[in-house]
Amino acid sequence: MPWVLTSVQTRLKQRRWWGVLTLFLIGAAIRLVGFTRSLWLDEFGTLWAVESTFGQTWHRALSFHGQSPFYYLLTWISVHGLGESEASLRAPSFVFAVGTALTLWMAGRWTKDSRAGWFAAGIFWLCAAAVMESANARPYALPTWATALPILGFIRATTRGDVPGRVT
């Protein structure tokens, strides 16, 4: 009868993957529905900051936005690499949201198990605030990811004590 148990476990794993894929697609659809909608006022500031040269973007981010130019330089790369559009302007925020979800998944997995990781990532992925942050051409998704990374590093350093955890 061990083959029956193995068969049941395999089906449960397949269902779990289908569930994870479904949640990811729902979260992505929620974000991407308005991805090409018109820009709102603050997003025009981001567009203005990145539509010039790389050096000018650095200067505009510091002088106009008063924020770290890192996000604006990444958005500059996106806009100049993919072409000027609402979607290319919002793409870095979406990428940072995916990075945050993956980071939370890893943190949950290292703290407890894979199931805890999926719950942590799923709760974040479907959270209304996270959806809004990751669908705007504003730097809000970057600090969310930048906050999750050191938490992951702390978890890894305290549970494993290895060098990558202590460096993060």
User: Per-residue confidence of the chain (168 residues) as pLDDT tens digits?
Assistant: 555 556 656 666 777 778 778 888 888 888 878 777 777 778 889 999 999 999 999 999 998 878 889 999 999 999 999 999 999 999 999 999 999 999 999 999 888 888 888 889 999 999 988 998 888 889 999 999 999 999 998 888 888 877 776 666
Count CA atoms within 13 Å of residue 93 on its CB side: 24
Give the ranges where the chain is alpha helix by DSSP (H).
2-32, 41-50, 54-60, 70-82, 86-111, 114-126, 128-134, 141-159, 163-167
**Separation CA 79–CA 53 (nearest Å):** 11
Amino acid found at 41: L
**Separation CA 49–CA 45 (nearest Å):** 6
pTM greater than the 0.85 cutoff: no
**Separation CA 31–CA 122 (nearest Å):** 14
Are residues 86 and 38 in contact, defined by beta-carbon separation less than 8 angstroms?
yes
Are residues 168 and 122 in contact, defined by beta-carbon separation less than 8 angstroms?
no
CB-based contacts of 25-28 (< 8 A; 24+ apart in sequence): 26/126, 27/125, 27/126, 27/131
